[in-house]
Structure 1
Amino acid sequence: MKGMVKVMLICLALVFGATVSKAAFLDDFTNALTNGKPTFEMRWSFEVSDLNDDADRSKAVGFNVRTRLGYRTAKLYDIFSAYIQLHNVTNITENFSWTGGGDASYDVIADPDGSRVHQAYLDISCPDGRGVFRIGKQEILFDDVRLIGNIDWRQNGQSFDAAKLNLKLIENVNFDAVYVSRVNDILLEHSDLRGYWFHLAYTGFENHKVSLFAYLNDFEDADYRDSATYGVRAFGKVPFQENVALRYDLTIAYQTDFADDGDAKSYRTVGSETLKEHGAMLFNISVATDWKLDLPYIQMGSIGFGYQMIEGADGSDKPFDTLFSTAHKWNGWADQFLATNGGALYLGLEDYWIEASVKFLGMSFKAVYHYFDTETSVDGLYNGYNDEYGQELDLLLVKSFNKNIKGLIKAAFFDAENDAEENGVPVEDEVVFWTRLMIKF
């Protein structure tokens, strides 16, 4: 992070050196500050989580509010601008636990209360609009947030201390290069690393986009996770008729060793296996059909299906680590498989799903059914279990009252396979319910 500060100071010094007079600079600087735009977000959340675990804890009940106040300056010399966002979560009802806190007699809701600076960065823009260099605390989202995201579903969210360069290399080609020094997580904690992330996107095909990525991570205190992840994503839509289109989304990623990984301190013994190297894949594909419907109360409908495979441990190879993903979006809203973030889902995962959605009376309704299977088995772990985890039904209803206010009701019902529970596989029956009201300006 010291290198980032040096770059920022050099850039500011260049501004001073190019300024004809200090008085003129102060006038311009004052105008940039006073002509900026404030931002405001408030999100009220009520959540109930009932996990049927062996500890027989009481169901978790949480009611809290997230408030974010921000201010974005106007541009100085059409080059410099800055943004700061202050964040607070206040728990009104706190009958729940989380990793490292809360009341351990209750089930988990991962929303500790507290305050922090969520974002604070400086933007340096190219005068021709072909690029932006951003340095400081910031959210970073790549593609469908399957590997890098802000975990915005949780009340605290995730941000990164980073330097990020975005360039439009040529027409329809965008390139991002990021150096990350710290991850600020959803538990109001942080971890240090040296992350080198690269993302290249091509948008020259009408209705289609292709991206290539490489995420190289050297963790400060978690050598087990040191890894290099390379992949490609292609997604888009194919119109069939005026009111019908086919959507598709395909991602393939491979993970191998990087930095200190391979030293004894990065080994982990699981069952009778010693996991030493990274050598796993992620594969994701989904297809959906969208209709625009000319009906009195129904405006749009969609039905689709998908498959995701996350490789588990194989001999001395570690499971695939989904890095800093917004995992809640993917393998069921009951969050039974968050261990993919961290590379600790040793049996891997095969997730088959079908989903349907409809827009009616100004509301959006979505239903998703998941069938979860293991991808592999590990000698000496869970009696060599290699069968299904269970199934889940997810339901969501969203209502936008206007452009600034939105509400939702959401539920997840996870049914664990009896054989999995009997063999000690870490899945349990669970029901989770949310209702939220979001205000944003």
Structure 2
Amino acid sequence: MEKIKTTLLNILGLGKIETQKVKISKSLICGITLSLISYNNANAQLTATGQIRTRTEMRAGQGTLQKLSDNHALFTSQRSRLNLGFTGYRFKVFTALQDVRVWGQDASSINRTTTEANNGVMLHEAWAEVMLNDTISSIQNLSLKVGRQEIAYDDQKVLGGLDWLQQGRRHDAIVLKFANKGWIADVGAAFNQNKELPAGTVYNGIPTAYGAGTNGIGTMYKSFQYAYIDKKFFFGDLSFLYFKDDFNKYTSVTSGVPAVTTITSGTGVWSRNTTGIYFNTTIKRKLNLTGSAYYQGGHDKDGRSIKANLASITSTLQVGRKLFVGPGVDYLSGDDGTKTVTASSDNNRFDPLYGTPHKFWGGMDYFYAASGFGKQGLLNYFFKAKYNMKDNLTFLLEVHGFEAANKLSNGTGGTRDSYLGTELDFIVKYNLTKMVNFEAGYSIMKATNSMASAQVKNVTTPDLSPQFAYVTLNIKPNFLAKK
């Protein structure tokens, strides 16, 4: 107690007075100590939140066309997350532990000798951010964010958190972040290994749990480097993105009788470069326009030279206080379906990297999600409407017309009609409270024979009117919130 008293007296400049035998009561010392502790706690912040999200889905051809004789699928999946964050002096830390499972995939009572094959527990995020500028700096923010984290920019067309998927998307990366006077500039990098190695950096790119990438790519990048710059203007904002992802080189050798193909990972990488801009502007407070244009070059994961591009524009007009409507169009280049693809032929198929396909190309996830649809590119003509009936009740309607952006082969030397189908998506969102909300959706596709062709998806006697429906309960508690 005497040491604490002496220290506090020195801090308060009362050391000399104490030497003059001024008595300080123990209660005063304790009060000052508690005040200092309270001051320190006020400058640090602990957050503890969670999420329970259940989604019951009825699939009747969602994601891929099925046969007329196939039965519908019905299941419930659940995401359970626990998020813990702490902000201290010049640093932040955050972790998100999640479990993703389908109801019933695990036994209700597990024998001790049973090996759990459906382990959905994973660390979704775990990062630390260190503030490099002090409190008196004129720069708004200069920080270094290190660890497992979501990386999302702009409308999340090419880089996004993919929140629709129960498991989401995250990256093990390091990002240098800058923000000041309307400018944002991030520079990031990642470098992957399968495990600790005594030598070498060979990476097979095969994840142990969920599929990697978009468009059914199935292979993780070996590394990536990117730069993102955004500037906010009085009319909106404009951003630039350069993203390079690298894939470990490999060789494929076929030999023996019967023939066996052996794939051997080698040294070096094939690098893919994606460069583009995004804009978001509002005209006279009623009309919002967003658009983007990207070019993709370099080499794909199989070493083919890439020459591909994406262009998109979306309009949203506010009609009255509650209704928002607007058309838009997306163009993603693709391969010519009438030509044979070889190792030396160019790849003209734009891959939307690590974005959020569900948000843009239909709720049934036919394009640029997990399947091979879209290899001939895509033209997506769409019209969207949102009606806010109440503060806590919203209706959304989307109509999509899908067309291949390149030629489709009919298998006999000719071409097929490029139109693939029309999709209707209807969604209802209702917020019971700030932490409890419901969402329900229904989608139906009127597919064409071209969509069911061998060039797009080879299905005998396909169901050309696939449907999809879901109901979601989403609870996101804040454990430290005041009542």
The two structures have a TM-score, normalised by structure 1, of 0.76
Residue 275 (structure 2) aligns with: 230
Alpha-carbon distance, 1:317 to partner: 2.7
2:427 to 378, 381, 396: 396
1:233-271 CA distances to partner (integer Å, 9 max, x unpaired)? 11121125xxxx00101101001105xx5xxx825xxxx
Residue 20 (structure 1) aligns with: none
Is 1:36 matched up with 2:46?
yes
Task: Specify whether residues 79 and 336 from structure 1 end up closer, same or farther in structure 2 by C-alpha distance, changes over 3 A only.
Answer: same
1:307-356 CA distances to partner (integer Å, 9 max, x unpaired)? 000000157331011111111101111011125x8997321100000111
- For 1:372 and 1:209, the matched residues in 2 are separated by 29
- Does the 8 Å contact 1:146/1:326 carry over to 2? yes
Residue 27 (structure 2) aligns with: none
Task: Specify whether residues 411 and 133 from structure 1 end up closer, same or farther in structure 2 by C-alpha distance, changes over 3 A only.
Answer: same
Task: Specify whether residues 184 and 157 from structure 1 end up closer, same or farther in structure 2 by C-alpha distance, changes over 3 A only.
Answer: farther
Alpha-carbon distance, 1:124 to partner: 0.4
- For 1:286 and 1:349, the matched residues in 2 are separated by 16
- For 1:438 and 1:231, the matched residues in 2 are separated by 35
- For 2:208 and 2:466, the matched residues in 1 are separated by 21
- Does the 8 Å contact 2:397/2:424 carry over to 1? yes
The unaligned stretches of length 5 or more in structure 2 are 1-36, 107-117, 193-204, 213-219, 251-267, 340-344, 459-463, 479-483
Residue 358 (structure 2) aligns with: 328
Residue 58 (structure 1) aligns with: 71
- For 2:66 and 2:373, the matched residues in 1 are separated by 19
Amino acid paired to 1:63: T
- Does the 8 Å contact 1:224/1:266 carry over to 2? no
Ranges of 4+ aligned residues in structure 1 off by more than 4 Å:
30-35, 182-187, 221-225, 341-344, 378-383
- Does the 8 Å contact 1:158/1:184 carry over to 2? no
Task: Specify whether residues 370 and 62 from structure 1 end up closer, same or farther in structure 2 by C-alpha distance, changes over 3 A only.
Answer: same
Is 1:163 matched up with 2:194?
no
Alpha-carbon distance, 1:188 to partner: 3.6
Alpha-carbon distance, 1:214 to partner: 0.5
Is 1:177 matched up with 2:181?
no
Task: Specify whether residues 94 and 291 from structure 1 end up closer, same or farther in structure 2 by C-alpha distance, changes over 3 A only.
Answer: farther
Task: Specify whether residues 283 and 326 from structure 1 end up closer, same or farther in structure 2 by C-alpha distance, changes over 3 A only.
Answer: same
- For 1:237 and 1:185, the matched residues in 2 are separated by 42
Alpha-carbon distance, 1:423 to partner: 5.3
- Does the 8 Å contact 1:84/1:120 carry over to 2? yes
1:38-83 CA distances to partner (integer Å, 9 max, x unpaired)? 12111111111111514954322111221100211131xx212211
Q: Report the identity percentage.
A: 21
In structure 2, the residue corresponding to 1:329 is in which secondary structure? helix
2:126 to 113, 120, 124: 120
1:417 to 444, 448, 451: 448
| Higher relative strand content | 1
Amino acid paired to 2:182: N
- For 1:235 and 1:120, the matched residues in 2 are separated by 31
Residue 255 (structure 2) aligns with: none
Alpha-carbon distance, 1:217 to partner: 0.7
1:140-184 CA distances to partner (integer Å, 9 max, x unpaired)? 10111100111110111110000011102x521110111023599
Task: Specify whether residues 134 and 368 from structure 1 end up closer, same or farther in structure 2 by C-alpha distance, changes over 3 A only.
Answer: same
Amino acid paired to 1:385: R
The unaligned stretches of length 5 or more in structure 1 are 1-26, 96-111, 268-275, 294-299
Is 1:277 matched up with 2:305?
yes
- For 2:185 and 2:469, the matched residues in 1 are separated by 40
- Does the 8 Å contact 2:148/2:173 carry over to 1? yes
Amino acid paired to 1:237: T
2:470 to 426, 434, 440: 434
- Aligned alpha-carbon RMSD (Å): 3.1
Amino acid paired to 1:82: V
Task: Specify whether residues 35 and 286 from structure 1 end up closer, same or farther in structure 2 by C-alpha distance, changes over 3 A only.
Answer: closer
The two structures have a TM-score, normalised by structure 2, of 0.70
- Does the 8 Å contact 2:319/2:325 carry over to 1? no
Is 1:350 matched up with 2:379?
yes
Residue 222 (structure 2) aligns with: 193
Q: Mapping of 1:68-217 within 5 angstroms?
A: 68-75=81-88, 78-93=89-104, 114-125=120-131, 126-127=133-134, 128=137, 129-168=140-179, 170-182=180-192, 188=210, 191-203=220-232, 205-217=233-245
- For 2:74 and 2:371, the matched residues in 1 are separated by 27
Task: Specify whether residues 181 and 31 from structure 1 end up closer, same or farther in structure 2 by C-alpha distance, changes over 3 A only.
Answer: farther
- Does the 8 Å contact 1:411/1:432 carry over to 2? yes
Residue 290 (structure 2) aligns with: 249
In structure 1, the residue corresponding to 2:242 is in which secondary structure? strand
Aligned residues: 370
With 183-192 and 359-368 compared, the bigger mean Cα shift is at: 183-192
